[in-house]
Every structure is written in structure tokens, then in C-alpha cells.
């Protein structure tokens, strides 16, 4: 049976089970399932934010509170219809999340989670201290939701609403992650350097995913307020924020269905522990917290990806495939005329504290030529690449690309102008397939955004992007590895994947940092052939490489660097005869 059909059948089965659940189950279980649904909505946001995007937040409970309190306040004090308070809550949460995100997401490393703890606590105390919100006593008398004549007063009726919302969000999130913008979010986890070099506006992606996760939380809060019809600050505390994170981690941080699983496991376990631990221990207390702590340690040691991947094996896997026929290839940018100057670097210097890693280096690259940059380790070659491509800007000097000054521009802007690069230390997303990694390179060649992705309106463009990725992978000689996880390839092949990714950007200048390292003889020859073909098409190539046979057989011109300075420049024959180069670079051996 086809995988997609199997998936659809399983989804239908899940929906049937959901439809029957409130009819067949006793009240207690329906209530439990309602809470699992509410928690799963928040955990789903965290799957996207923390699991996929790599941004840890302890503060989601505060956003749940914003959704709940906005509705509680507007309905009880101002008599606003509960259906209107959902968009109102989303608006309030959106504004708060945007402001907090703009401040917090600049923080890196452990400062980001600490920042989320700080505002998570602030909002919690705000709920408790505002008299208009009923202080610590909270607000009661929240009206029930009403569908025409039907008031959703019982848990059984509410069940359908909660799970319908959850299901829509799960499917929308899944679609989103499997799209151009989704890949950009996934690329965040590999650090923003690679993503930016591929044209992703990483601050924007971070803000969007952070705000989305907050809006999910707010939706859960709105549902909660009208299910409970009473709110007080307790469920929006930092402790609850930690529990949400816990659910996402236990379920499976990077899997949408893991959110439901995690919320289910933690909620049921908590209920069970609260019932049994005091009986076993003969005294009352919050012992479940201790068990949770221990459980977290076990999960982090034994199942970092959570429980979902263990269950997932029994389900058909979704495979991101490129369609072969009937796809209109992406339009290509016209290449500059062969021989015209593409890149001009003048007096480029880069200082790291007391070290001058690049010292007033000047050179140029033309369209349709391979320029090699060689020199001993530490000569400053990679630093020069980073300076040119905007990854780590120069201290002084000027760089112009296709006639425009580009120094000081962010890497993504330089990428947009047609420069693409690979990294000496490979920067792939190891768990993602080769084709998805390469498709990140084509980011700037697509337009469709988050909303289109979530409702699958981006499929035509998406198949063009994947088609482009597939074409580049085949061109680079890796068709067999197309659907393998990038991290499972040998390092030499991973470098080739980086080249395919750079080519997917449709560059006119390609910067390759040690592309042949780790390749075998035949693979090096294939790479040289590929670079010759690209050169013949009119692409400019700037190449850093240590294998002298490779360089001398391929390059049109060679620039030799030593201690950050330009030592010599010229055609390969000239360089090979240059006494200073032989002395300094080859140590006089050859």
C-alpha cells in the first residue's frame, strides 16, 4: 500500500477514535483527555520552537495565561462575546510575544532560556497582582462557548472543540515544517551562520516561530478559560512552563505527534503518581515532581529524541520526494559575461584581537575562471572567505561584487546578489535528508510564506524547489544518496552535498573552502570535472584547496597567502616556479 494512503487511513482511524471517545468513555477520562488536548496545543508550539528551531522557552505558560485572562476580562467585565475574545487574545499575545521576542531572541546560549524564565515569571506575577484581573483569587463567571443554540457546558461537548483545534494545528504545523519556511526554521538549529549564508533571514524566522508558538499557547488559554469558566494565576506559573517543555521533550522534541504523546504521557503519569505515591509513602506531598525530575534525567540519557521516534517505526514514514516530470524548472539568473570582473577585493584586513588574520589583501575573480587561494594552515584563507561572504565582516578594506560594494552587508544579502559558498567545517543538518539540505540552498528562489505552507498552497513552488535540489544533487554525482540522512554520508561526500546546496542558489560566484578534502582520487577527478563544467558555463569560482595537483590542474590563477598577507599571485606555472612560494609554502621540498 502506498505510504500516503496508509497515513491517510491512520489519520482517519485516529479521527474515528476521537469521535467515539466522549461517547464511550466515563466523564473522568473525557476530562483527562480535554486537559491532554489543551496541553498538547502548547507542547506543539514548543516542538516547533525548541525541538525544531532549537530555541528553548520556559515561559510558554505565561502566553497561555495571556490568552485565558484576555478572554476572562473581556467577557466578564465588558460582556464581549467569547468568539471575539479569541482574536483579541491572539492579538494581545502576538504583540507581547513580538516585543519579548525582539528583546530575548537576540540572546544566545543559556541566556535565551534564562530570559524566558524572567518574563515567564514577570507575567505570572502580573496576573496575580492586577486588581482588575482579580489578583490571586482570579476571575469567575466566564461564560461558556456557544454554537448557535448549543452551549458547550460539559466536558464531553468541549472535547470535540479542543481536539478539532489540536488536529488542525498538528496538520498545519506538519505542513509548515515540510516547506521552504519550515526548512529555514530547521536550519536555525545548525546555528544561524549556514542559514544566513543560504539567504535565510534568521532573525525573522526566529521571531515568527516564537510568535507562532506563543499564539498556540494563547489559543490553548482561551479554550481553557471557557472550559473551566474560571481563571487564577496558578496554571500559568513557571512550574507549568517547565512542565510544557517537559511534555515536548518526552514526547519527541522534533515531531508534531510527539506533542500529543508527550502531553498524554506526562498528564496520565502525573495523575497516576499523585494518586499512588502518597499511598505508597504513607504521607501526602508533591512527590511526583521528584519522579519527574528523575524521569527527565533518564530521557536525556536514554532517549534524547523522546518517545515518539520509538513508536514512529510502526507508522509509515513520510518521505520528502522530488517529482521528476511535469515540473517547470526554476528560472535561472543570467550569468555575467565571461571574463567580466565579478569580485574585487581591495586591501582586505581582518583583525582578531592582536592577530591580523588578513593583512591588506587585494585580488579579483572574473566570470568563467577558477581562482585558487592557497597557503599553509592559518594563512587566513577561511577568514578571507568569511569576510567576502559577509559571514564575519572584514575589519577594513572594500569588496565589490558585480560592481556593487558589499562590505558590511549581511550574508543573506550577499547571497541574494548571487554569491554562494561552502564551509571548511561542513555545516549540514545531519538528520535531514540530502535533498532537503540541498533545498535550503534554493531558499531565495522561492516566495511562498508560512500561511501558504500551512495550508499546502505552496506545493507547486515546493516541487520546483525540490526538483532543483534533485538536479543539483545529480549533477554533483550523488543521486543514490539523495534520500539518505546527510549525517550518514562520509565527510568527503558531505562536502559535495554542500557544493550541491551552494549550486541550488543559482550563484554566479561560488566560494569553495577545501572541497576536495576527504575525497578519493576518482571522486576528486569527478569534482574537478564538475568545476570545469561550471567554469565553462560562465561561473566564477574561488577555491581554497590543499591538494596541489588538484589546484594546479584546475585553476586559471592562483593567489598564495602566508601569515595573512599576499605572498604571490599568478598563473599556476608561474606560482610553481616562484622561489618565494617554494620556500615559504612548500618548505623548499619540491
Q: Which does 135 bind (CB under 5 to 8 A by kind): ligand ADP, Mg ion, none?
A: none
Burial 530-554 (b: 16+ CB within 10 A, else e): bbeebbeebbbbbbbbebbebbbeb
When CB distances are held under 5 to 8 angstroms depending on the partner's kind, the choice from ligand ADP, Mg ion, none that residue 380 binds is ligand ADP
List, in order, residues 6 or more apart from 64 with CB less than 8 Å away: 42, 217, 218, 220, 221, 224, 235, 236, 240
Overall size of the chain counted in residues: 590
Angstrom distance (rounded) from CA 63 to CA 116:
11
Contact 21, 33 (CB under 8 A): yes
Q: What 3-state class would DSSP assign to 374?
A: strand
Taking CB within 5 to 8 Å according to partner kind, which of Mg ion, ligand ADP, none is near residue 104? none
Q: Which is nearer to ligand ADP, 245 or 379 (CB)?
A: 379
What is the number of other CB atoms lying within 10 angstroms of the CB of residue 83?
A: 13
- Report 368-397 residues binding ligand ADP (CB under 6 A): 375, 377-383
Name the minimum Å distance from CB 419 to ligand ADP: 18
Q: Would you say 100 or 512 has its CB closer to ligand ADP? A: 512
What is the per-residue binding string for ligand ADP in 351-370, x denoting contact by CB under 6 A?
-x--x-x-------------
Q: Choose the contact partner of 357 out of ligand ADP, Mg ion, none; CB within 5 to 8 A by kind.
A: ligand ADP
Coil/strand/helix, residue 55: coil
Query: What is the rounded distance in angstroms from the CA atom of residue 523 to the CA atom of residue 515?
Result: 11
Binding residues with ligand ADP: total (CB under 6 A) = 11
Q: Which is nearer to ligand ADP, 431 or 565 (CB)?
A: 565
**89 interface partner picked from ligand ADP, Mg ion, none, CB below 5 to 8 A per type:** none
382 contacts Mg ion (rule: CB under 5 A): yes
Please state the closest distance from residue 435 (CB atom) to Mg ion, in A: 28
Question: Coil, strand, or helix at residue 379?
Answer: coil
We find the least distance from the C-beta atom of residue 551 to Mg ion, in angstroms, to be: 14
Please classify residue 492 by burial: count the beta carbons closer than 10 Å to its beta carbon, then call 0-12 exposed, 13-18 middle and 19+ buried. middle
Nearer to Mg ion, 257 or 550 (CB): 550
Closer CB to ligand ADP, residue 282 or residue 353?
Answer: 353
Least Cβ distance, residue 184 to ligand ADP (angstroms): 25
Burial class (CB in 10 A: 0-12, 13-18, 19+), 234: middle
Question: Of residues 31, 154, 271, 424, which one binds Mg ion by CB under 5 A?
Answer: 424
Please choose, out of 12-20, 152-160, 305-313, 419-427, the segment that lies near Mg ion by the rule CB under 5 A. Answer: 419-427
Q: Which does 505 bind (CB under 5 to 8 A by kind): Mg ion, ligand ADP, none?
A: none
Q: Closest distance between Mg ion and the C-beta of residue 359, in Å?
A: 16
To ligand ADP, the closest distance from the beta carbon of 381 in angstroms equals 3
Sequence-separated (6 or more) residues with CB below 8 Å from residue 305: 252, 253, 254, 255
Check if the beta carbon of residue 160 is closer than 8 Å to that of residue 22.
yes
Rounding to the nearest 10 degrees, give the CA dihedral for residues 534, 195, 373, 361.
130
515 binds ligand ADP (CB under 6 A): no
Q: At its nearest, how many Å lie between ligand ADP and the CB of residue 365?
A: 17
Binding site for Mg ion (CB under 5 A): 381-382, 424
Binding site for ligand ADP (CB under 6 A): 352, 355, 357, 375, 377-383
Amino acid at each position: 500500500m502506498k505510504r500516503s494512503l496508509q497515513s491517510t487511513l491512520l489519520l482517519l482511524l485516529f479521527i474515528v477514535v476521537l469521535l467515539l471517545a466522549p461517547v464511550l468513555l466515563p466523564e473522568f477520562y473525557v476530562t483527562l483527555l480535554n486537559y491532554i488536548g489543551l496541553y498538547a496545543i502548547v507542547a506543539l508550539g514548543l516542538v516547533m520552537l525548541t525541538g525544531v528551531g532549537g530555541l528553548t522557552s520556559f515561559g510558554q505558560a505565561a502566553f497561555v495565561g495571556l490568552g485565558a485572562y484576555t478572554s476572562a476580562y473581556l467577557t466578564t467585565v465588558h460582556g464581549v462575546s467569547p468568539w471575539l475574545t479569541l482574536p483579541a487574545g491572539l492579538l494581545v499575545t502576538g504583540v507581547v510575544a513580538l516585543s519579548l521576542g525582539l528583546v530575548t531572541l537576540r540572546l544566545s546560549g543559556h541566556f535565551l532560556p534564562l530570559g524566558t524564565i524572567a518574563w515567564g515569571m514577570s507575567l505570572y506575577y502580573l496576573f496575580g497582582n492586577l486588581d482588575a484581573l482579580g489578583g490571586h483569587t482570579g476571575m469567575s463567571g466566564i461564560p461558556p462557548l456557544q454554537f448557535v443554540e448549543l452551549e458547550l457546558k460539559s466536558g464531553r461537548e468541549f472535547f470535540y472543540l479542543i481536539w478539532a483545534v489540536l488536529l488542525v494545528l498538528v496538520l498545519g504545523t506538519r505542513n509548515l515544517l515540510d516547506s521552504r519556511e519550515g526548512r529555514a526554521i530547521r536550519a536555525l538549529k545548525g546555528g544561524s551562520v549556514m542559514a544566513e549564508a543560504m539567504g535565510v533571514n534568521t532573525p525573522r524566522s526566529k521571531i515568527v516561530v516564537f510568535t507562532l508558538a506563543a499564539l498556540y499557547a494563547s489559543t490553548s488559554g482561551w479554550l481553557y478559560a471557557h472550559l473551566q469558566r474560571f481563571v487564577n494565576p496558578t496554571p500559568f506559573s513557571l512550574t507549568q512552563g517547565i512542565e510544557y517543555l517537559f511534555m515536548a521533550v518526552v514526547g519527541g522534541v522534533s515531531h508534531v505527534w510527539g506533542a500529543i504523546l508527550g502531553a498524554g504521557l506526562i498528564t496520565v503519569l502525573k495523575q497516576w503518581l499523585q494518586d499512588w505515591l502518597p499511598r505508597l509513602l504513607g504521607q501526602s506531598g508533591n512527590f511526583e515532581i521528584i519522579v519527574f525530575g528523575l524521569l527527565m534525567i533518564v530521557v536525556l540519557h536514554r532517549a534524547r529524541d523522546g518517545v515518539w521516534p520509538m513508536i514512529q517505526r510502526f507508522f509509515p514514514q513520510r518521505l520528502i520526494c522530488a517529482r521528476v516530470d511535469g515540473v517547470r524548472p526554476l528560472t535561472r539568473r543570467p550569468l555575467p559575461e565571461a571574463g567580466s570582473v565579478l569580485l574585487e577585493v581591495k586591501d582586505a584586513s581582518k583583525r582578531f584581537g592582536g592577530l591580523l588574520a588578513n593583512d591588506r589583501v587585494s585580488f579579483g575573480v572574473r566570470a568563467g575562471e577558477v581562482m585558487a587561494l592557497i597557503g599553509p594552515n592559518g594563512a587566513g584563507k577561511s577568514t578571507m572567505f568569511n569576510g567576502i561572504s559577509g559571514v564575519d565582516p572584514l575589519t577594513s578594506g572594500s569588496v565589490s561584487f558585480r560592481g556593487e560594494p558589499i562590505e558590511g552587508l549581511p550574508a543573506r544579502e550577499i547571497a541574494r546578489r548571487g554569491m554562494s559558498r561552502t564551509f571548511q567545517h561542513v555545516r549540514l543538518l545531519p538528520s535531514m535528508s540530502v535533498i532537503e539540505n540541498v533545498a535550503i540552498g534554493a531558499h531565495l528562489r522561492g516566495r511562498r510564506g508560512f500561511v501558504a505552507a500551512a495550508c499546502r498552497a505552496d506545493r507547486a513552488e515546493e516541487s520546483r524547489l525540490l526538483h532543483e535540489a534533485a538536479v543539483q544533487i545529480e549533477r554533483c554525482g550523488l543521486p543514490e544518496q539523495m534520500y539518505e540522512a546527510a549525517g550518514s554520508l562520509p565527510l568527503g561526500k558531505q562536502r559535495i552535498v554542500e557544493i550541491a546546496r551552494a549550486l541550488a542558489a543559482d550563484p554566479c560566484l561560488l566560494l569553495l573552502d577545501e572541497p576536495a578534502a576527504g575525497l578519493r582520487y576518482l571522486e576528486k577527478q569527478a569534482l574537478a570535472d564538475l568545476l570545469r563544467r561550471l567554469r565553462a558555463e560562465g561561473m566564477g569560482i574561488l577555491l581554497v584547496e590543499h591538494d596541489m595537483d588538484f589546484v594546479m590542474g584546475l585553476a586559471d590563477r592562483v593567489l598564495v597567502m602566508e601569515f595573512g598577507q599576499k605572498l604571490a599571485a599568478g598563473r599556476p606555472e608561474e606560482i610553481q616556479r616562484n622561489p618565494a612560494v617554494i620556500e615559504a609554502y612548500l618548505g623548499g621540498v619540491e
